Amino acid sequence: MDRKVSVVVSVYNEEKALEEFYRETGKVLNELDWDYELVFVNDGSADGSLAILDSLAERDSRVKVVSFSRNFGHEAAMIAGLDYSSGDAVVCMDADLQHPPECIPRILEKMAQGYEVISMVRTKNKSAGLVKNITSSGFYWLINHISDVHFEPNASDFFAVSRHVVQVLKDNYREKVRFLRGYVQNVGFRKATIEYEARARVAGESKYSLKKLFIFSINTILCFSNMPLKLGIYAGIFSALLGVAVIVYTLFTRQGAPSGYATIVVLICFMFAMMFAIIGIIGEYIAILFTELKDRPIYIVDRTRNVE
């Protein structure tokens, strides 16, 4: 077997799912004519996940374990998995089995055909709930309308890339505030899309609350679009037109000022609200620049198992 596939798995408090994930994924991989490795990245789990991973690594030399010093987040874990992978093809997926292992053969077929980026797109996601499905659709609609980059709707953190693309990501995409699946979708090269139906979680619950998803969405928009910065220009134009309208109203009513105290208060409150909103947006961009300038590590590894 000359070809090798690396399966990168982010792990955060997944002790109830790891053994089943290992069994199901191993069964699929053993039926392929590819050599393989499983790269588990322990993202600061507080349960028994690391002990289970150590046990798997002791039983199977193809299991690699990279353990962080603390929780750095799902994206950092996937980046570490890419850094520590050695396969000709790298498949990133979650440990909760919502990303079906049986899709891996279809992914590798596309890789064998010369595709270097495989984007997995959900057709259904019943386990996410109505609210998350609606907000996800709204997010992709918004980002595709304000960004020059096109994002595949319903694309997930289940994707695959070639060794060539992995090297590009390692060398050139090391932002501290990032959207990895966005980079994967828009890094270029030959790309294919595969649809899949998300399973229900084997155990546990989603680590992404609505609050975390909101913050993640804001960071993504700021990373991939300059449109929010242009709101200042649009707000200035709107304010100028509003001022002209007030002048015209004053001239036609032949009063020294628009009648009514409420009108003045509403206008002042509106203008200040718009100004502070623009300042807040600029502040968010400055915060991202500050984070990048500090250049702190994306992740810190505490220890590894079966890693050369």
At the topology level, CATH places domain 4-205+297-305 in Spore Coat Polysaccharide Biosynthesis Protein SpsA; Chain A (3.90.550)
Q: Where are the domains of the chain?
A: 4-205+297-305, 227-294
pLDDT digit string, tens, across residues 169-193 = 888 888 776 677 777 777 778 888 8
CA distance 157 to 149: 18
Per-residue pLDDT tens for 35-60?
Answer: 999 999 999 888 889 999 999 999 99
The label of the residue with tokens 């000022």 reads: 257
pTM: 0.71
How confident is the prediction for the chain on average, in pLDDT? 79
297-300 long-range Cβ contacts below 8 angstroms, 24+ apart: 298/72, 298/76, 298/79, 298/80, 298/174, 298/176, 299/68, 299/72, 299/76, 299/77, 299/79, 299/80, 300/68, 300/69, 300/70, 300/72
More confident residue, 210 or 70: 70
